[in-house]
Amino acid sequence: MSTRRIFAQPARYAAIAPYLWMVLFFLVPFGFVLKISLSQTAIAQPPYVPVFDFTEGWAAIKAAFAQLSLDNFKLLVSDNLYLSSYLRSLIVAVTSTLILLLIGYPIAYGMARLPQRWQAIAMMLVIVPFWTSFLIRIYAWINILQHDGLLNTVLLALHLVSSPVVWLSTDTAMYIGIVYSYLPFMILPLYATLSKMDPALLEAASDLGASPQQAFWLVTFPLSLPGVGAGALLCFIPIVGEFVIPDLLAGSSSMMIGQTLWLEFFTNKDWPVASAAAIALLALLVPPLLLYDRLQRRTLEGGR
Amino acid sequence: MTLESPDIGRPNIDVSAGPPDAAAADMPLLRVEGVSKKFGSFPAVDHLSLDIRAGEFFALLGPSGCGKTTLLRMLAGFETPDEGRILLGGRDIAPVLPHERPVNMMFQNYALFPHLSVRDNIAFGLKRAGMARAAIDTRVAEMVALVKLEGMEKRRPDQLSGGQRQRVALARSLARRPKVLLLDEPLAALDKKLRESTQQELMELQRRLGMTFIVVTHDQEEAMTMANRIGVMNAGRLEQVAPPRDLYEAPASRWVAQFVGDVNLFDGEVTSHEHHRLTIATRDGGAIVVAVPRQPVAKSPVSVAIRPEKVKLSRPGVASDASNSQPINRLEGVVTDVSYLGGSTVYKVKLDSGAILRSSVANTARLDTDTYDVSQRVVAWFTSDDCVVLEQ
Amino acid sequence: MAGRVNRLSPFNVTALALGMAFLYLPIVILVIYSFNASRLVTVWGGWSLRWYQEFFNDRAMLDAAWMSLRVAAVSATIATLLGTLAAVGLVRGERFKGRSLFSGMLYAPLVMPEVISGLSLLLLFVALNAERGFWTVTIAHTTLTMCFVTVVVQSRLASLDRSLEEAAMDLGCDPVQAFLSVTLPLIIPAIAAGWMLAFTLSLDDVVIASFTTGPGSATLPIRIYSEVRLGVKPEINAICTMVIALIAVVIVIASLASKLSNSEAKSAAPL
């Protein structure tokens, strides 16, 4: 018997506690969301009609299945509010990801070309803001972007504008907030691929007559595509479900899906519709998640 | 498929079109003049000068960290010298960027572009030179045939064996027909068998193309096999530049004698100088008579170097069969160790003076009777021509 | 020796400088304004600790801060314990029934939108008729952060040389002893890093806490969030600065600890 197998048994026992925890606090609640998304709205506490009641046996279960309704989902696809917030989530996520890529790539590229000692420091500098509170970072921008904030003060002092510009409650403010919050998520995977690249490849390209620009577009960029994909998905996926940033920085004229869910849940107390919105949001995230998973697998295999 | 006429289709990249050939006749193709390069305070290359002629197969040999790769990288343009000049065809190429130099390099780990096929790797440099598509196809086919990789054009580097990758790297660097091909440890990643056959192929290729090859290696056997001339580097300086035979038989310094091949060294003082002969009183080998070297020995103390295969053994009292008129040095001692290596046997002899002398005897007959055993008393002898006097 | 081709270009340096400025300027400005004596952001009224005083007199804020610290400490500790066990199970457990479900459950919360995690846990607590407050938030945070701990510890554990454990067993340890005496000391830095990450994530969360907390037990981020929605208050600047300082201290301790354990490992290596 190999030591691996000797170790496997106690290691599996170790997994029992976290396993049960995740079943109880992740899997079961998720089942609740699914269940409630299929039940009827009621003005009560809790504000939904329970779908299953196992005390009455098999007949009740059959009856309950008959009662399951897709009404909430029908509402989601028929009501403009939901459709437009889906669309907006997608547009915001795509736009932000593109901006992040444009800003993050040059930074990651610069980091990868720093002398070795400096790279660790630069990496640290990129990670540290990720550790400081996300809410505080958004708040910092409100400080800057508000009507009499620093940005307007500077713009006025430089005579670039004649009267204060409205920044808060605009899409511009929201994009600034998103880009600011997610920049480390874009930089780190890009930096990881760029720094692993053999410097001899660029020398070889140069040796074979490629100018620095050509060498970048013919060698560096194509080889960094896995990092581009990873960074883009790592930003896109959470941005789709983002709630705090649009809520604090964007205007209230149109909402992202996370905001709509929050509104249904807390303001309208319509738990079934909120649950259905949650399921629909997850459905939106499945394709990019699968893509990310495939990308990671391929990178791992390629690395071997 | 051979490259009989290296000028056909030469890409239009010849930025260093030097002076006409007549004027360049006495000018080396590549001249390195007093070049230095420091990394921080560490001098990687230290006031080094070197001439390389067109068509040479030149090897830079030295231990790791001696600066040979840095010198090569300066020739390719990846490093700029702190001091000195590098002239290619009479023109200073220091300001010429790597991608504009008519010099190509084969990288140590090949640096093949992992996202490009074999074909696209080879065509990379040709495309940069603005060659026509048809011409590129022809040249790539030529190169693929040259390195015997037919049928592999569509593969990616990670689908090739080590030996095949080495060939792609070679084809890629040759495709632009550079004036000088630089090879950085080209065979280091190959196993021994493959290395030997590839050495032969590289030599044949170089002869056929008439191109100038500069190879960096730490493997002296490789350098000796392939190169016409070898530059031995140590601590950023060239210790000696010579053809392989001279390097071995007439090392210029104690360091070279020890670095290249195996050697017995005796330190001592010159005591007399007569009739083309020097007598040297060595500290632990007694008096040794040597032929006067071509370059007079100015300083004392000196070292006497004798290669092990030049040291013959015989039984005490038996007259040696040397019939020439050279003086013979005889040193008596006891065999302490016998290593049978197949083609030869190496004996360690502890001389009566206390020094250890190694003698390598070729096993020329299968049933050799002329062998010696441990603890046997022997006479080790060598002629005055077989040793070299070196300044310390 | 980067050489001529791979050296830093002016473009690289500019991109780095602008990028770092973008990342740090807003935080620096926030910290500076927390010491502003004036109520108006535009007016610099001189250095003052006025807003810090205001915070320490604000009962509701203090309660929220205390609640957040307790939730963060307790949930990070449970999450570290469970996450480490999960990592051991995943890395050393080889294949077992339900392994892919297990790893799936551990990875999903990493990418799950917080609104969904919060919503689903609230539905569970409602169904269980649990009183919402400290423990529900703590459980919710534990569930989320233990997944991060698992990832951190797992990668360290996977990179560990297995022959060390084999050597320990060769010298007479049973698997559990081998793990406790050899493996655990080697992954302690990762476990510590996992705890710090869990702690800061918990301290940071608004969305999940909003769903799972009950009346009268708001966490600090929830309070900050509701204040911020009403506009900028200098007191918030002061609170944020203190949170940043707290996190900075945690990071410095963490990096010192990892440096220490690294240098120990290095000095031990030649032996």
Contact residues, C window 95-154, toward A, CB-based 8 Å cutoff: 96, 98, 102, 105-106, 108-109, 111-116, 119-121, 123-124, 126-127, 139-140, 142-143, 146, 150
Task: Place A1 in a pLDDT band, splitting at 50, 70 and 90.
Answer: very low
Residues of chain C with C-beta less than 8 angstroms from the C-beta of A30 = 120
Question: For position B95, what pLDDT does the model report?
Answer: 83
Determine contact: A298 vs chain B, CB below 8 A.
Answer: no
Question: For position A273, what pLDDT does the model report?
Answer: 83
Angle at A272 between CA A268 and CA A273, to 5 degrees: 60
Over 70: is that where the pLDDT of B4 sits? Answer: no
Question: For position A169, what pLDDT does the model report?
Answer: 85
Q: For B113-130, write each residue's pLDDT tens digit.
A: 999 999 999 999 999 888
Determine contact: C7 vs chain B, CB below 8 A.
Answer: no
Question: For position A22, what pLDDT does the model report?
Answer: 94
Given an 8 Å threshold on Cβ–Cβ distance, is B97 in contact with C1? no
* Residue C201: closest CA among C132, C145, C268: C145
Residue C114 is assigned to a structural domain of this protein: yes
The single residue listed with the structure tokens 């170089």 is B206
Please provide the distance, in angstroms rounded to a whole number, between the alpha carbons at the two ends of chain A: 28
Closest to B39 (Cβ–Cβ): which among C1, C4, C5?
C1
Lowest mean pLDDT among A147-151, A264-268, A298-302: A298-302
What average pLDDT does this structure show over B58-85? 92
CB B279 within 8 A of CB B270: yes
Question: For position C42, what pLDDT does the model report?
Answer: 64
SS3 A39: coil
What average pLDDT does this structure show over B248-257? 91
Closest residue, chain C, to A146 (C-alpha): C232
Q: How many CB atoms lie within 10 A of CB A71?
A: 15
Residue C35 is assigned to a structural domain of this protein: no
Which amino acid belongs to residue B211? M
Please provide the distance, in angstroms rounded to a whole number, between the alpha carbons at the two ends of chain C: 31
Residues of chain C with C-beta less than 8 angstroms from the C-beta of B78 = 3-5
CB B150 within 8 A of CB B182: no
Q: For B292-346, write each residue's pLDDT tens digit.
A: 776 666 667 888 899 999 999 888 876 555 555 667 888 889 999 999 988 899 9
Backbone angles phi, psi at A45, to 5 degrees: -125, 115
Question: For position B152, what pLDDT does the model report?
Answer: 92
Determine contact: C30 vs chain A, CB below 8 A.
Answer: yes
Question: For position B21, what pLDDT does the model report?
Answer: 47
SS3 B279: strand
CB A41 within 8 A of CB A272: yes
d(CA A266, CA B295): 99
Average pLDDT, chain C: 85
Shortest distance, CA C119 to any CA of chain A (angstroms)? 8
What average pLDDT does this structure show over A233-239? 91
Question: For position B18, what pLDDT does the model report?
Answer: 41
| Domain boundary assignment for chain B | 21-249, 262-391
d(CA B90, CA A297): 54
Determine contact: A209 vs chain B, CB below 8 A.
Answer: yes
Residue C43 is assigned to a structural domain of this protein: no
The domain made up of B21-249 is a member of CATH 3.40.50.300: yes
pLDDT greater at residue C270 or residue C64: C64
Q: For A2-40, write each residue's pLDDT tens digit.
A: 656 677 788 888 889 999 999 999 999 988 888 888 876
CB C79 within 8 A of CB C109: no
> How large is the greatest C-alpha to C-alpha distance in chain C, in angstroms?
71
CB B177 within 8 A of CB B208: no
Over 70: is that where the pLDDT of B2 sits? Answer: no
Strand partners, B274: B277
What is the residue range of C97's domain? 49-264
Question: For position C48, what pLDDT does the model report?
Answer: 82
Integer angstrom CA distances of residue A220 from A202, A240, B90, B130, C75: 8, 30, 35, 21, 43
Closest to B113 (Cβ–Cβ): which among A206, A209, A219?
A219
Closest residue, chain A, to C168 (C-alpha): A3
Over 70: is that where the pLDDT of A223 sits? Answer: yes
Residue C26 is assigned to a structural domain of this protein: no
Determine contact: A208 vs chain B, CB below 8 A.
Answer: yes
CB B181 within 8 A of CB B213: yes
Question: For position C2, what pLDDT does the model report?
Answer: 57
Q: Which fold is adopted by the domain A70-303?
A: MetI-like fold (1.10.3720)
Determine contact: C3 vs chain B, CB below 8 A.
Answer: yes
Return the beta strands (E) in A105-224 as ranges.
Answer: none
Closest residue, chain A, to B172 (C-alpha): A208
Share of chain C above pLDDT 90, in %: 31
Share of chain A above pLDDT 90, in %: 32
Residues of chain C with C-beta less than 8 angstroms from the C-beta of B98 = 4-5
* Residue A97: closest CA among A300, A291, A261: A291
Determine contact: C176 vs chain A, CB below 8 A.
Answer: yes
d(CA B39, CA B49): 19
Q: How many CB atoms lie within 10 A of CB B256?
A: 22
Using an 8 Å CB-CB cutoff, list residues of chain B that contact chain C.
Answer: 39, 73, 77-80, 97-98
Question: For position B217, what pLDDT does the model report?
Answer: 93
Question: For position A65, what pLDDT does the model report?
Answer: 60
DSSP summary character for residue C95:
S
d(CA A57, CA C82): 37
Which of A23, A125, A136, A296 to mutate: most C Cβ within 10 Å? A136
Given an 8 Å threshold on Cβ–Cβ distance, is B77 in contact with A206? yes
Q: For B77-124, write each residue's pLDDT tens digit.
A: 888 899 999 999 888 988 888 888 889 999 988 999 999 999 999 999
DSSP summary character for residue A54:
G
Given an 8 Å threshold on Cβ–Cβ distance, is A208 in contact with B124? yes
Chains that touch C (3 or more CB pairs under 8 A): A, B
Closest to A140 (Cβ–Cβ): which among C29, C143, C247?
C29
pLDDT greater at residue C72 or residue A83: C72
Average pLDDT, chain A: 83
Integer angstrom CA distances of residue A299 from A188, A189, B159, B240: 15, 12, 16, 48
Q: For A164-183, write each residue's pLDDT tens digit.
A: 888 888 899 999 999 999 99
Given an 8 Å threshold on Cβ–Cβ distance, is A137 in contact with C27? yes
pTM of the predicted model as reported, rounded to 2 decimal places? 0.80
What average pLDDT does this structure show over C108-122? 89
Task: Place B30 in a pLDDT band, splitting at 50, 70 and 90.
Answer: very high
DSSP summary character for residue B84:
E
Domain total of chain C: 1
Given an 8 Å threshold on Cβ–Cβ distance, is B98 in contact with C4? yes
The CATH number of residue C224's host domain is: 1.10.3720.10
Closest to C86 (Cβ–Cβ): which among A18, A126, A203?
A18
Pick the CATH number of B262-391 from 2.40.50.100, 3.90.1150.10, 3.20.19.10, 3.40.1190.20: 2.40.50.100
Determine contact: A211 vs chain B, CB below 8 A.
Answer: yes
Q: For B179-232, write each residue's pLDDT tens digit.
A: 899 999 998 888 888 888 889 999 999 998 889 999 999 999 999 999 999 999
Determine contact: C16 vs chain A, CB below 8 A.
Answer: yes
Q: What is the ipTM of this complex?
A: 0.85
Residue C119 is assigned to a structural domain of this protein: yes
What average pLDDT does this structure show over C231-248? 83
The size of the A-C interface in CB pairs under 8 A is 271
Shortest distance, CA B19 to any CA of chain A (angstroms)? 23
Contact residues, A window 75-114, toward C, CB-based 8 Å cutoff: 103, 106-107, 109-111, 113-114
Closest to A142 (Cβ–Cβ): which among C3, C6, C232?
C232
Over 50: is that where the pLDDT of B16 sits? Answer: no
Given an 8 Å threshold on Cβ–Cβ distance, is C143 in contact with A25? yes
Q: For C62-85, write each residue's pLDDT tens digit.
A: 999 999 999 999 999 999 999 999
Task: Place A107 in a pLDDT band, splitting at 50, 70 and 90.
Answer: very high
Given an 8 Å threshold on Cβ–Cβ distance, is B98 in contact with C5? yes
Q: For C136-176, write each residue's pLDDT tens digit.
A: 999 999 999 999 999 999 988 988 887 787 787 777 778 78
